[in-house]
Structure 1
Amino acid sequence: MPLPIPSILTHPSFPTVISLPQPTRKGKAPVATTRGGPFDIAWEVYGEGNIRVVWVMGLNAPGMAWHRQSRYFGVDRGHIYSSLVFDNRGVGNSDKPLLRYTTTEMARDLLEVLSHVGWTGEERRIHLVGASMGGMIAMEFALLAPHLLASLTLQSTAAKLIDPLPWYTTLVNRVTMFLPKPLPLRLQHTQSVLFTPTFLSSAPSPPTTDPTFPTNADLFIAEELWRRAHLPITPWANYLLQGLAVSGHCISADRLKSLGEVLEGRVKIRVITGDEDKLVAWTHSKEIVEGMEEGRGELVMERGCGHVVHWERGGERGYNVAMEEYFGVGEWAWGRGREESARGESG
């Protein structure tokens, strides 16, 4: 059984469970001046290298949720990479406007952030990585500003959410998801949706705090509690607005095909999914690859993995190493994508 919340809060590792590196640059970018704003988007850049990576986070998650990537790319390899994270509208240290949210509008927010940071002056310089809702935003960004991209990674995401359940069951599930719950129940529900049981019951992989928490389930709860203690809580209305943006997200068949076309075959498109993802089924990733023009994208199927691939696959030669090689030469990740795609089709 996971540790109770009081035991986690008094655990010797809790104060440093997330040790955020010092950003090289940070600030707030005013966006959406003619789109219901202006309002500010909080951003941080780690590292000073020539390879630029932009990480886009998902529903109700701030940019600091990429902290494992910020440290790996922006600190340990900061002489190679400049790594940008930001808080989408409605979460973290960004403003929380009460207006309609769409993934298209959030992609425009990102473009204005990059302009503010000075990353829109050169073509084919940005490696864009989007997870879940962040992947939806990344697809819209790729259609909006394809000339800026050096690569596109779509992780645990969908062109359009398709639920195989009856409409009335889906309605009940979505209403239940957005109903307020006591914190322990909410944390328990969230981790069961995001991760596999095997991962949750396993001991955390290094690098992590020392002494560490007994299981990844405890570590997840500790990180969520740390976040609540150090970042503004997302108001329920803004959480709902982001949820509606996800529900309304739709890259039509024509737009999905054009996604491969506008990137002109010069931009690698990597689609990553866990075959045990309970939040966005792996079939959505398969449909993204199949919907683009043949040969435009590669499907990477992570076996025995849930929704948060960048955490579950964080061990040796895991997610960060694969992404690093992908941003560079890319042969390891690209070849593995073809291999795993073939296995997925045959299995």
Structure 2
Amino acid sequence: MLNIYRAFVAPTAEETLRHPAYPSAIWALESHRKGMVDAAIGRGGPVKIAWEIHGEGPTKVVLIMGLAGVKTSWQRQTKYFGHDRADEYSVLILDNRGMGESDKPLARYTTSAMAADVVDVLDHVGWTAEREVHLVGISLGGMIAQEVAYAIPTRLRSLTLLSTTAQFESGPARSWTDAIRQRVGFVVPKSEEQGMIDTSRQLFSDEWLAAPDDAAALPSPKTTPRCGPAPGSPDGEYRAFDTNFQRFQAQELFKRRQVGWFTRQGFLCQLIAAGWHRKSPEQLRELADKVGRERIFIMHGTADNMITVANGEKLIKYIEPAVGLIVEGVGHAPGMDRPEWFNSLLEERFIAFNKL
């Protein structure tokens, strides 16, 4: 056992792997469509990008995950929009290059190239109409979303930027190279357990991590969980972990134990893309002009330890979106630690944007 908080003892990876809830850490959310796109043709490719569409509704939503995230990182949103409301929404999720089931070429990644991958996926699935797509990006995914918006502004019905930045500035890091050293430390010189602990504390509050896992958020056991049937329980039973940290740890362990899903090379290439992302005030204003400020939603939490709130405040200042929220006490990943509130907030914005 690893002591990480004054009143909380973190389980080891082995303890979590043996936990009865581990087989259902990744929910059995079967996609309505999925595939691989040969992206980046003519720009260093092909680079295979894995994608899934959940739901068959008329409102089309694209979710772009952040650094080291994979498609299943969105499972709380995928379920809410693409399954519970499948007749209203179609939700496209993908693995960015460098992570998950997508290719991980050794190259210099840029947010503009990763955005072009997203556009290739949209073209492939036929989401090409004017004002058709609600684009949502978080963290590195928000940087990628800025570049998508810059490239195809009139194809977006709305743009949502969460916990992100136009140019990285964060917390105790004195420079971007200092910030890179901090983040590389999550996966390179430390044990697996310590790396996940440090990452969790960048993403979430200590209080939330130590709190009991909220089993009420689990899906109905209609199908066998992605990790296989839970030992000693009926096929498809979903169980709660001891703490929220342990659920986060289980999802990370699942990702890292899928062959080829998580590599240091892919992580570092994505990290460099985030580090080199730059959008000047003039470019942000141009982006807002082309997309339409009335179609843009920006949100950042004051308790974000990964990309501090000053970054979101600057985006709001220069873009002047229809809605710009600075939310007290919210951390870097509200879709995971506040899913009910977060999903309702997104849905409220989608409904409003659909009326434009």
TM-score by length of structure 1 reads 0.89
Over the matched positions of the two proteins, sequence identity in percent amounts to 36
> Which of 54, 70, 75 is the equivalent residue of 2:78?
70
Residue of structure 2 equivalent to 1:320: 343
Residue of structure 2 equivalent to 1:309: 334
Any idea what the Cα deviations from partners look like across 1:209-255, whole Å, max 9, x if unmatched? 75411211111111111222346332212211111100000001110
Change (3 A) 1:308 1:32: same
Taking CA–CA contacts closer than 8 Å with sequence separation of 6 or more, which of the two structures ends up with the larger relative contact order? Answer: 2
Residue of structure 2 equivalent to 1:299: 324
Secondary structure class of the residue paired with 1:76: coil
Unmatched 5+ residue regions in structure 2? 1-8, 219-236
Structure 2 distance, partners of 1:19, 1:8, is: 17
Instruction: Give the aligned length.
Output: 325
Superposition deviation, residue 270 in structure 1: 1.0
CA contact (8 A) 2:111 2:143 kept: yes
CA contact (8 A) 2:66 2:140 kept: yes
Residue of structure 1 equivalent to 2:162: 155
Secondary structure class of the residue paired with 1:71: helix
Does 2:138 match 1:131? yes
Residue of structure 2 equivalent to 1:246: 274
Residue of structure 1 equivalent to 2:301: 274
CA contact (8 A) 1:24 1:47 kept: yes
Does 2:311 match 1:284? yes
Secondary structure class of the residue paired with 2:10: coil
Does 2:131 match 1:103? no
Superposition deviation, residue 134 in structure 1: 0.2
Change (3 A) 1:184 1:171: closer
CA contact (8 A) 2:186 2:198 kept: no
Q: Which amino acid aligns with 1:194?
A: L
Does 2:254 match 1:226? yes
Matching of residues 328-339 of structure 1 within 5 Å: 328-329=351-352
Q: Which amino acid aligns with 1:261?
A: D
Structure 1 distance, partners of 2:10, 2:190, is: 19
Superposition deviation, residue 274 in structure 1: 1.6
Superposition deviation, residue 52 in structure 1: 0.0
Secondary structure class of the residue paired with 1:53: strand
Q: Which amino acid aligns with 2:86?
A: G
Superposition deviation, residue 330 in structure 1: 6.3
Structure 2 distance, partners of 1:171, 1:116, is: 34
Does 2:208 match 1:199? yes
Structure 1 distance, partners of 2:162, 2:118, is: 18
Does 2:209 match 1:181? no
RMSD (Å), alpha carbons: 1.9
CA contact (8 A) 2:256 2:262 kept: no
CA contact (8 A) 2:139 2:162 kept: yes
Change (3 A) 1:325 1:169: closer
Any idea what the Cα deviations from partners look like across 1:179-222, whole Å, max 9, x if unmatched? 34211111111111111111111122321375411211111111
CA contact (8 A) 2:100 2:255 kept: no
Which has the higher mean CA deviation after the structures are superposed, 299-308 or 59-68?
Answer: 299-308
Q: Which amino acid aligns with 2:263?
A: P
Secondary structure class of the residue paired with 1:213: coil
Residue of structure 1 equivalent to 2:60: 52
Unmatched 5+ residue regions in structure 1? 332-347
Q: Which amino acid aligns with 2:331?
A: G
Structure 2 distance, partners of 1:175, 1:65, is: 20
Change (3 A) 1:319 1:166: closer
Any idea what the Cα deviations from partners look like across 1:11-41, whole Å, max 9, x if unmatched? 1111112113110000001111111011210
Superposition deviation, residue 174 in structure 1: 5.0
Structure 2 distance, partners of 1:202, 1:175, is: 28
Q: Which amino acid aligns with 1:138?
A: A
Any idea what the Cα deviations from partners look like across 1:73-92, whole Å, max 9, x if unmatched? 11110000000000001111
Structure 2 distance, partners of 1:131, 1:269, is: 14
Change (3 A) 1:172 1:49: closer
CA contact (8 A) 1:273 1:309 kept: no
CA contact (8 A) 1:55 1:128 kept: yes
Secondary structure class of the residue paired with 2:56: coil
Structure 1 distance, partners of 2:283, 2:241, is: 45
Residue of structure 2 equivalent to 1:334: none
Q: Which amino acid aligns with 2:346?
A: M
Secondary structure class of the residue paired with 2:149: helix
